[in-house]
Structure 1
Amino acid sequence: MKAEPSILRDFTVDKRVWLLSGVAIGIGAIATLLAVFLLRCIAFSTNLFYYHRFSIAPVSPAGSPLGHWMVIVPVIGGLLVGVMARFGSDKIRGHGIPEAIEAILLHRARVAPKIALLKPISAAIAIGSGGPFGAEGPIIMTGGAAGSLIGQWMHVTDNERTTLLVAGAAAGMSAVFATPVAAILLAVELLLFEWRPRSLVPVAMASTTAALLRTHWLGSGPLFDMPSEGTPHASFVIGAVLLGAFVGLVAAVMSRLMYSIEDLFEHLHLHWMWWPAIGGIGIGVGGLFFPRGLGVGYDNIAELLHGNAAVGLIVGVLLAKSLMWAVSLGSGTSGGVLAPLLMIGGAIGALAAHLAHTSTEAEALWALIGMGAMLAGALGVPLTAILFSLEVTHCLPALLPLAVACIASYLVTALIMPRSILTEKLGRRGTHLTREYGVDPLELVLVREVMSPLQGAPVEIPASATFTYSDSTTRAAMAVMATEGLETIPVVDRKTGLSCGEFSLRHLLQVRGKSLEREHERLRLSRYVPPELGGHN
């Protein structure tokens, strides 16, 4: 006899996804404008601090004529950021991404309006005065703030407001780097804490909108050009695994270094408002020895990916840039971690290529693999790292070695680091979150499989009563019980409308117990006896 089709669906999504997608398109446009505003502000600040002129033309601090006076510029920038954080909002301090996660988890996806203004301005001052940061963290927070503000104005649920916040964050990243797919994956791996159509579709609409609109102000990409390279051979892929694992170790060291420096600042008998200025001393001194370590440093990444980076640049990035970044970010100033990590990972890959005496094309490829592996390990986002590296370079032949290197790095850091460089900050604030996503075991078991059968004659349950259907998932039954505050509810057969059993908290624990058994019980299948043949279920 043919079974009747189930009334259950693969996805829980309704028509409101159309409304959220339409709003997300508008948020994508707003986030693009904010990204352009941030990049222009960084350029303006750099020109003002290092060249004493009013201009928004992109320029590097390394060419400044200030000489030794360059040392005090980051101190001034740090002092300004500290004042803004003290009297504006302390939420502008730090990477940007942890603050977005915190708003989602703890504050119902609500971000104060002033964050949308203060975050890009403080980041522009910090980076423009020589801070060795990227623009991605601040724009993720700024775009997220814009999405949150729109979500606060509308009549939406907390989950829908979270979707709009993340849509703005993903759009900001897409606008800065021209990486719409990687931005979507970053949202899934780091911000949404779910993979559902109700949130994925609006976020994707915002990200692609930003990627389309950025071409009018920032170009279409790729952000970095690379020399052409053929398909890598097997030995190259094996080398990529080893490089990825080593970069994973370096990522763990970088995270611990930065937070160790942060701990040192915590022991200072000074208000945290002064910490960015003290961190600015480290930036200034480092910039005196390695001027190319100042600012965002996209030109350094471009040179590494061209495959002709000088040894001085590679060593400078690995030593000076790393220390400058760790000291300044540990001081609590405003800036992102993505660009510095990419640069450090690229320098490791380029150094490996130098030691192996490879060709220019191969050196560029090794630098790209190091970049992706660093991003995957430090942030714990392997899929984002793979797609991001391909989107910023359009170097498709790098896919296979890049994938294995990112996975190797991710594995190493997952084994030795309890948290990523981003979530560690949340852990230090007393917040725990899990980065593992899986199907809820309660979604895999139907009520009829675990309920207690009816002992007496079946009766008709009034429609106004609280009950669950026998073909519902145990998760749906749990939702009804949680909503009504019940420990036990009757079970109704959908076809007859009559009661057929009882469902309670005990049955929920049974389902969880079976799930734990599947995770921890080890056995050889050759010794396994199915329940229908007399074995244990």
Structure 2
Amino acid sequence: MKDALKVQVHGSYKMSQIKTITSGIVVGILAGTAVSMFRWAIQHMMAVMKGLYTGILAHPVDALIAIVINLAIGLFVGWLLHQQPDIKGSGIPQVEGQLLGEIDYRWWSVLWRKFIGGILAIGSGLYLGREGPSIQLGSTLGQGVAHFTKQVGFDRQVLISSGAAAGLSAAFNAPIASTLFGLEEIYHNFSTNIWVISLTSAVTSDMVATYVFGLKPVLYMKSNPMPLQYFYWVVILGIILGILGRFYQMVILRVSAWYQKIGRLPWYLDGVIPLLIVIPLGMFFPRLLGGGSDIIVHLNAAGYSTIVLCGFFLIRFIFSMISYGSGLPGGIFLPILCLGGLIGAIVGSLAIAIGWVSPEYFSSFVIMGMAGYFAAISKAPFTAILLITEMVGTLTHLLGLAVVALVAYGVLDALNGKPVYYAMLQQLLQNTKANDLGRTVQITKPVFAGSQIDGKLVRQINWPAGSLLTKIVRNGIEIVPSGQTPLRWGDTLYINVSTKNQHRITETLTRLTSES
């Protein structure tokens, strides 16, 4: 009898894994196709708009054409924002809120508006990234699959998170980092089912994007790894990145409020402001347009002076804030990498100028700058290390990336910085309506070794009011809990949470299950 039960459990678990992988492939194909179309449209529109802006110097009448086009874009995207505010900005805070059960929206309503609005906003040359919108596009497609297959609760959340990983993977051709970003930053859960479907969807999505755009890494550049004798510069760079990363957080979290104070336009038309400012920037600094990948890949060969690099950094920093603060659909992911690369280039050029570092290691400063700045601002160092490794296309910088990411992370933590997307979610939730009091959502929490509940019985735990433990998954086997059930590290808890004070309840549960 016992052997028969083992066979039944093993067979059920095996079928569950097959279903998980199949779902990941479906979501990956859909997200890869959608995001590849998104990338392709942005690239071609950017080329057209760049030609229009640079042509103004020779044909001044083009300035009037550019103004009319950008005003039309601002009004149209503003109309989309007014209809569906959930397409605003990056989209990553919205996805996080959705997975926490604090935000929800209709997938199709967001999908097509984010797709069109993101192409128009980013393709016009604003200093916005495609990765945030790509993550939201992927997550809404995962939500759409859940809708058509009638999956709810945890199964729906898994499809949404796998779609987010697939969206980022197609945006950057970085499936491993995209999977880790989904687990480390968005979903905060490393259970088997979640990482299996996320990795499957990310790899599938990357295959689709690779078919369209080729195998060349997005930020490929020739580089030499930094020798250990120069690693004191890595530490110095990490400290600078951590300090400037905290400054970035302080500004980006306030810029929306500044718009409200100085602007007389309705909030959904604030995008008109950066769309007009981008015209003169495009005339004189066409290489700085967009998310910043163009300037990154040309830093090594261009030979810019330190003064020019500082000027580029100031322009990119200020206009990135203006672009994102307007609320137009677009992310900060790639702009953060661009700013980090410029910081690394500035430090590297100074080190080379005074003769303390060989010029052949200039590109190493750029690469480490990107990783350290992103690690600090997002507080996701593992993702930063893997992301830059995949985007640059070399493993030779792993040690330098790890050191700079840890130093920058530690400095920002010492300055009391929080993960930027989490902080953005808190701002977003302050502006949303209160949820229905009688509704509940299901969340999952992994139990970490050394947590407050590790080794305790269910009845010994002071569960927050408004929460109910409904299921425990241990080594792939489902357990119906009772008061006498012991909890162990590695368990995944399925908990129904009241939407009333949901954020407070979720934070309490996180403290109970996390490492002490």
**Shorter-chain TM-score range:** 0.7 to 0.9
Which residue, 314, 317, 326 being the options, matches 2:321? 326
1:114 maps to amino acid: S
* CA drift at 1:387: 0.5
By how many angstroms is 1:110 displaced? 5.3
Letter in 1 for 2:79: V
**Alpha-carbon deviation of 1:471?**
6.4
- Identify which of 215, 240, 246 aligns with 1:246: 240
Question: Which residue of the other structure, out of 36, 61, 84, is the alignment partner of 2:80?
Answer: 84
Asked if structure 2 preserves the Cα contact closer than 8 Å seen for 1:236 and 1:401, the reply is no
1:25 is displaced (CA, Å) by 0.6
Bigger Cα displacement from structure 2, 12-21 vs 194-203: 12-21
Query: Is the CA contact 1:109–1:165 (under 8 Å) kept in the aligned structure 2?
Result: no
Q: Distance in 2 between matches of 1:269 and 1:471?
A: 59
| Aligned partner of residue 211 in structure 1, secondary structure | helix
Unaligned runs of 5+ in 1: 1-8, 53-60, 452-465, 484-508, 520-537
Please list, as runs of the form range in 1=range in 2, the aligned pairs for 1:273-422 lying within 5 A after superposition: 273-305=268-300, 308-311=303-306, 314-357=309-352, 358-422=357-421
How much does 1:328 deviate? Answer: 1.3
**Bigger shift: 411-420 or 115-124?**
411-420
For the aligned residue pairs, the C-alpha RMSD in angstroms reads: 3.7
Matches of 1:134 and 1:107 in 2, distance apart? 25
Asked whether the equivalents of residues 306 and 350 of structure 2 are also in contact (C-alpha less than 8 Å), the reply is: no
Answer whether contact 1:110 1:148 (CA < 8 A) is retained.
Answer: no
Matches of 2:415 and 2:359, distance apart in 1 = 34
CA distance in 1, matches of 2:99, 2:93: 10
Letter of the aligned partner of 2:401 in structure 1? Answer: L
Judge conservation of contact 1:93–1:333 (CA < 8 Å) in 2. Answer: yes
> Residue 265 of structure 2 aligns to a residue in which SS?
coil
Q: Which moved more, 1:63-72 or 1:149-158?
A: 63-72
Residue of structure 2 equivalent to 1:494: none
**Superposed, which structure 2 residues align to 1:55-74 within 5 Å?**
69=63, 72=67, 74=70
1:187 aligns with 2:186: no
Amino acid at match of 2:74: G
Of stretches 34-43 and 344-353 in structure 1, the one that deviates more from structure 2 is 34-43
> What is the percentage of aligned positions where both structures have the same residue?
24
Structure 2 residue aligned with 1:264: 258
Q: Distance in 1 between matches of 2:93 and 2:405?
A: 22
Going from structure 1 to structure 2, the CA distance change for 1:14 and 1:258 (only over 3 Å counts) comes to same
- 8 A contact 2:223–2:361 mirrored in 1: no
CA distance in 1, matches of 2:186, 2:448: 16
TM-score normalised by structure 1 residue count: 0.76
Is contact 1:62–1:292 with CA below 8 Å preserved after alignment? no
Shift in Å, 1:390: 0.7
CA contact (8 A) 2:446 2:493 kept: no
Partners of 1:475 and 1:315 in 2: CA distance: 49
After TM superposition, list the pairs within 5 Å mapping 1:419-434 onto structure 2: 419-430=418-429
Kindly indicate whether structure 1 or structure 2 has the higher relative contact order, using CA contacts under 8 Å at least 6 residues apart: 2
Q: Secondary structure at the match of 1:217?
A: helix
Q: Match of 1:24, as an amino acid?
A: G
Partner Cα distance (1:154, 1:440) in 2:
38
| One of 163, 166, 173 as aligned partner of 1:168 | 163
Counterpart among 233, 236, 256 of residue 227 in structure 2: 233
Mapping 1:375-524, distance limit 5 Å = 375-430=374-429, 438-439=448-449, 441=451, 444-447=454-457, 468=482, 472-473=486-487, 519=516
Could you report, residue by residue, the CA deviation over 1:149-188 in whole angstroms, capped at 9, with x for unpaired residues? 1112223232221111111111121112111110011001
Name 1:500's counterpart in structure 2: none
Q: Equivalent residue of 2:253, what SS?
A: helix
Q: Are 1:307 and 1:363, in contact at CA under 8 Å, matched by a contact in 2?
A: no
Q: Following the alignment from structure 2 to structure 1, what is the Cα–Cα distance between the partners of residues 345 and 238? A: 13
> When the two structures are superposed, what TM-score results if normalisation uses the length of structure 2?
0.78
The CA deviation at 1:50 is: 4.8
Count of aligned positions:
456
CA distance in 2, matches of 1:255, 1:312: 25
Tell me the secondary structure at the aligned position of residue 343 of structure 2: helix
State how far apart, in whole Å, the 2-side matches of 1:47 and 1:476 are.
50
**In the superposition, relative to structure 1, how do residues 104 and 354 fare at CA in structure 2: closer, same or farther (>3 Å)?**
same
Cα pair distance change 1:195/1:478, threshold 3 Å: closer
Query: Which residue number corresponds to residue 125 of structure 1?
Result: 120
Q: Taking structure 1 as reference, are residues 331 and 363 closer, same or farther at Cα in structure 2, changes over 3 Å only?
A: same
Q: What is the letter of the counterpart of residue 240 of structure 1?
A: V
The separation in 2 between residues aligned to 1:359 and 1:180, in whole angstroms, is: 34
Asked whether the equivalents of residues 376 and 406 of structure 1 are also in contact (C-alpha less than 8 Å), the reply is yes
Distance 2:169 2:492 in 1: 39
Q: Which residue of 2 aligns with 1:93?
A: 88
Q: State the 1:385 CA deviation.
A: 0.3
Structure 1 contact 123–138 (Cα < 8 Å) conserved = yes
Equivalent residue letter for 1:258: I
Deviations 1:2-58 (A, max 9, x none): xxxxxxx9xx97743321221111110111111111012213433554547xxxxxx
Bigger shift: residues 163-172 or 418-427 = 418-427
Sort the Cα spacing of 1:320 and 1:108 in 2 relative to 1 into closer, same or farther, 3 A: closer
| C-alpha contact 2:93 2:424 (8 A) present in aligned 1 | yes
After TM superposition, the structure 1 = structure 2 runs for residues 97-116 of structure 1, keeping only pairs within 5 Å, are 97-106=92-101, 111-116=106-111
Does the C-alpha gap of structure 1 residues 63 and 158 become closer, same or farther in structure 2, counting only changes over 3 Å?
farther
Q: What residue in structure 1 maps to residue 42 of structure 2?
A: 42
Check 1:96–1:108 CA distance in 2 against 1; reply closer, same or farther (3 A cut): closer
Q: How far apart, CA to CA, are the structure 1 residues paired with 2:186 and 2:165?
A: 9
1:66-90 deviations in Å (ceiling 9; x for gaps)? 6682873555433332122113x11
- Residue aligning to 2:465: none
Query: Partner of 2:33 in structure 1?
Result: 33
Indicate if the aligned counterparts of 1:75 and 1:276 stay in contact, CA closer than 8 A: no
Using the alignment, how far apart are the partners of 2:495 and 2:73 within structure 1? 55
1:304 CA displacement? 2.4
Distance 1:29-1:235 versus aligned 2 partners, 3 A rule: same
Deviation string, structure 1 residues 384-403 (Cα, Å, up to 9, x no partner) = 00001111112322111110
